Amino acid sequence: MEKLGNWKRSHTCGALRKENAGAEVTLMGWVDSWRDHGGVFFVDLRDRYGKTQIVFNPEAGEMYQKAKDLRNEFVVAVRGQVALRPTGMINKNIATGEIEVAAKELKILNPAKVTPFEVSAYVEAAEELRLKYRYLDLRRPDMQRNLLIRNELYKTTRAYLDRHGFVDIETPILMRSTPEGARDYLVPSRLYKGSFYALPQSPQMYKQILMVAGMDRYFQIVRCFRDEDTRADRQPEFTQIDIEMSFVDQEDVMALVEGLTAEMMQNILGRKISLPLPRLTYAEAMARFGSDKPDLRFGLEIRDVTALAGQSEFKIFVETVTGGKTVQALCLPGGAKYSRKQIDDLAQYATQMGAKGLVTLKVTESGWEGGAAKFFSSGVIGKVNAAWPAKAGDLLLFVADEEEKAQKVLGALRLRLAQEEKLIPENSFNFLWVVDFPLLEFDEEEKRWMARHHPFTAPKDEDIALVDTAPEKVRAKAYDLVLNGTEIAGGSIRIHQRELQKKMFNLLKLSDAEAENKFGFLLEAFEYGAPPHGGIAFGFDRLVMLFAGRKSIRDVIAFPKTNAALSLMDGAPSPVDEKQLRELGIKLA
RNA sequence: GGGGUCGUGGUGUAGCUUGGUUAACACGCUGGCCUGUCAAGCCGGAGAUCGCGGGUUCAAGUCCCGUCGGCCCCGCCA
């Protein structure tokens, strides 16, 4: 092992080109691979910027012998002369492929053990290993690229919002636990034993208070914490681009976000998108795609066939219709080829998604084929077929249930079928807004209305009267931005008037005392001159994931946690000393 | 909380359906050869009680039960 001494890196491993031929350079990096030809010895030196081939010639004596001991992932410094590669030896696969560096001096700055998986391998390593040895995983160009895309998105976000007059303000990480929403991560207080801070699920209330404070335009790229089960696109801690603005309505927030989105597309992917972005109401998204975050990269739309199903002799459908429920359906072009087992799998999936059953019928030249086919007259068959229209060789899939339940099940089937049939175009970016969300949803367990977005979301002006008479019909000034079937941002205009807020709390069955206890500081703030305001928050990790073309946000987070919320590299969470617990006044059960 | 799936030398996989001799292949590692490769090549070598525990059996990587871990999904995530 040798000292760096006064050596300075003159170029990165991705910098040298044929124009540099003849230059004396100093490169530092990791051994990406080595090739011993008995005589000449090659090393591909790697850093974040690229790879450069180093050549060691036998004439170099002592240094040549030293070079022969180099192995993968050794950290080395090399001094030498840039040389054009001999004719026919150019490697078109790398940017530095026209040159190589003829080594004159070599320092082995640090050796490396044989790595648990091959860093520059073409074979993938198991994710468990990648997470445990994250520093090795992050040496891979793919992962470095993801983090660089992430960095570009930070930069674009900050530049854009700065240009639009937004102020980056930090909000507390240690805050008061608030009810509603996700489970909080708690931090015990040493000074006030038995009391806890909570880590923010989002800085929601702080940013609203910043509006009361007159900051007018706030943003923050901020870590948020939710103690809920994970998914490919959900981690215990994640990052939001949090935005709030005063004296605006829904259109202002949406226009701002569209500008930011377009700039991201331009800067990161070099693509222009046309504005304004398309919009769907929640009702339409559910009716046509069975999802509040529909993937519009493919069709396969759902149709409501309740009326026609009611004209059949099929008992299940007839009872559904007379019971005031609906029958919805999908048509899979070419789906008649599906085997019994494939259809059984679909039915099982539908059941898992909450359906009571799945009725499938194959479309033929003469009508329908399948167990239930005989209950439908040719007239009804013709009209149902006409809905898509369906043709011979297609498969019809029916779900009979309450409207939204049936839509959701078919929405899930729609996605699954699109994946199986490879209907989703790669490398396409489909943005849309979903607007006019219901303000509330009824919680069957607690037998009360719950805020769908959060309890400060304003109802649409024209729906305020319905709050008392038909809460289920009230639409919110809320909007979600969807990209390729993933919700990437969501926001709303907030209630800024005490009276309306009070009304909402009553509806949510939150007593004055409870409201006071839980949100008192915010409500009090609203009494000292709260401007109309609203905002939005991006799920930043999801955004990076989609821009990087990955399937999990773990690939765009430097140190993510597993499904079970463990950090395999550092072993968090871990037990702590008895002494630490005593200081906090905590006794384990 | 529930469902699914995977776990085999250091790594990635095959073998498991239908139990049966020495667990196979590639990469990596290692010894040797080789002066122009670039996922170098050629010859040789080491390296696996098949995640863990129990059971069935004359016999278990293979079948059964349990358990642990990774991943995907439902619930959950205002």
Q: What is the mean pLDDT of each run of 10 residues along chain A (589 residues)?
A: 93 96 97 95 96 95 93 96 93 95 96 93 88 96 96 98 98 90 94 96 95 97 97 97 98 98 98 97 96 96 95 94 95 92 88 91 93 92 94 96 95 94 92 96 81 91 91 95 97 92 84 80 91 97 97 97 95 93 91
Measured CA to C1', the nucleotide nearest A205 is B78
Angle (CA) A3-A110-A118 rounded to 5° is 160
A167-168 and A217-225: which strand pairing?
A: parallel
Residue nearest to nucleotide B10 (CA to C1'): A116
Residues in chain A: 589
Q: Residue A310 belongs to a domain with what CATH number?
A: 3.30.1360.30
**Which of the 304-363 residues on chain A come under 7 Å of nucleic strand B at their beta carbon?**
352-354
| CA separation for the pair A543, A540 (Å, rounded) | 5
Q: How far is CA A221 from CA A5, A81, A206, A539, in A?
A: 40, 45, 14, 10
Nucleic strand B within 7 A of Cβ A100: yes
Residues A37, A93 share a domain: yes
Residues A207, A99 share a domain: no
Q: How far is CA A566 from CA A137, A367, A376, A539, in A?
A: 17, 55, 54, 21
| CA separation for the pair A423, A222 (Å, rounded) | 36
Contacts of A498 (CB under 8 A, 6+ apart): A523, A526, A527
Nucleic strand B within 7 A of Cβ A71: yes
Distance, Å, A129 CA → B51 C1': 14
* Domain termination site, one of A369, A393, A424: A424
Q: Is residue A116 part of a domain?
A: no
Residues A253, A170 share a domain: yes
Q: Is residue A587 part of a domain?
A: no
Residues A170, A269 share a domain: yes
Residues A419, A456 share a domain: no
The single-letter code of the amino acid at A101 is V
| CA separation for the pair A44, A54 (Å, rounded) | 6
Measured N-to-C along each axis, helices A512-526 and A498-507 cross at an angle, to the nearest 10 degrees, of 160
CB A90 within 8 Å of CB A97: yes
Distance, Å, A133 CA → B8 C1': 22
Half-sphere exposure of residue A108: CA atoms within 13 angstroms, side-chain side: 17
> Is residue A389 reached through a cis peptide bond, with omega within 30 degrees of 0 on the bond before it?
yes
Picking from A528, A544, A452, A467, the residue whose alpha carbon sits closest to that of residue A502 is A467
Residue nearest to nucleotide B32 (CA to C1'): A38
Measured CA to C1', the nucleotide nearest A33 is B38
Q: Residue A523 belongs to a domain with what CATH number?
A: 3.30.930.10
Q: Is residue A575 part of a domain?
A: no
Residue nearest to nucleotide B29 (CA to C1'): A114
Q: Is residue A570 part of a domain?
A: no
Residues A469, A504 share a domain: yes
- What pTM did the predictor assign? 0.94
Picking from A258, A585, A572, A270, the residue whose alpha carbon sits closest to that of residue A433 is A258
Residues A387, A356 share a domain: yes
A279-281 sheet: strands from edge to edge? A167-168, A217-225, A237-246, A533-539, A486-493, A478-483, A431-435, A279-281
* Domain termination site, one of A110, A130, A162: A110
Residues A147, A275 share a domain: yes
At residue A465, the 3 state secondary structure works out as: coil
Q: Is residue A488 part of a domain?
A: yes
A359-364 sheet: strands from edge to edge? A303-304, A326-332, A395-401, A359-364, A367-369
CB A326 within 8 Å of CB A402: yes
Q: So what's the pLDDT on residue A443?
A: 80
Residues A501, A551 share a domain: yes
**Which of the 242-301 residues on chain A come under 7 Å of nucleic strand B at their beta carbon?**
none
Distance, Å, A129 CA → B26 C1': 20
Distance, Å, A525 CA → B47 C1': 69
Distance, Å, A247 CA → B24 C1': 71
Q: How far is CA A292 from CA A46, A398, A482, A559, in A?
A: 45, 20, 9, 30
Q: Is residue A7 part of a domain?
A: no
At residue A281, the 3 state secondary structure works out as: strand
Domain span at residue A360 reads: 298-424
Residues A486, A411 share a domain: no
Q: So what's the pLDDT on residue A485?
A: 96
| CA separation for the pair A326, A308 (Å, rounded) | 10
CB A25 within 8 Å of CB A82: yes
Angle (CA) A456-A462-A464 rounded to 5° is 45
Distance, Å, A289 CA → B50 C1': 46
Provide the number of structural domains found in chain A. Answer: 3
Give the ipTM.
Answer: 0.94
Q: Is residue A189 part of a domain?
A: yes
CB A486 within 8 Å of CB A542: yes
The CB density around residue A547, as the number of other CB atoms within 10 Å, is 20
Q: Is residue A221 part of a domain?
A: yes
Residues A471, A343 share a domain: no
**Which of the 444-483 residues on chain A come under 7 Å of nucleic strand B at their beta carbon?**
450-455
Q: So what's the pLDDT on residue A588?
A: 87
Measured CA to C1', the nucleotide nearest A58 is B35
Measured N-to-C along each axis, helices A204-212 and A512-526 cross at an angle, to the nearest 10 degrees, of 40
Distance, Å, A231 CA → B72 C1': 8
* Domain termination site, one of A403, A424, A445: A424
| CA separation for the pair A9, A397 (Å, rounded) | 64
Distance, Å, A117 CA → B9 C1': 13
Picking from A143, A184, A131, A84, the residue whose alpha carbon sits closest to that of residue A562 is A131
Burial level of A576, CB count in 10 A (0-12/13-18/19+)? exposed
DSSP for A119-185 reads TT-SSPPPHHHHHHTHHHHTTSHHHHHHHHHHHHHHHHHHHHHHHTT-EE----SSB---SSSSPPP
Distance, Å, A301 CA → B63 C1': 45
Q: So what's the pLDDT on residue A444?
A: 75
Strand B: which nucleotides have any atom within 7 A of a protein Cβ? 1, 3, 10-13, 26-30, 33-41, 69-78
Q: How far is CA A32 from CA A35, A37, A93, A106, A134, in A?
A: 11, 17, 15, 16, 17
| CA separation for the pair A327, A333 (Å, rounded) | 20
Measured CA to C1', the nucleotide nearest A234 is B77
Nucleic strand B within 7 A of Cβ A169: no
DSSP for A409-446 reads HHHHHHHHHHHHTT-S-TT---EEEEE--BSEEEETTT
Picking from A463, A535, A469, the residue whose alpha carbon sits closest to that of residue A496 is A535
Residues A505, A473 share a domain: yes
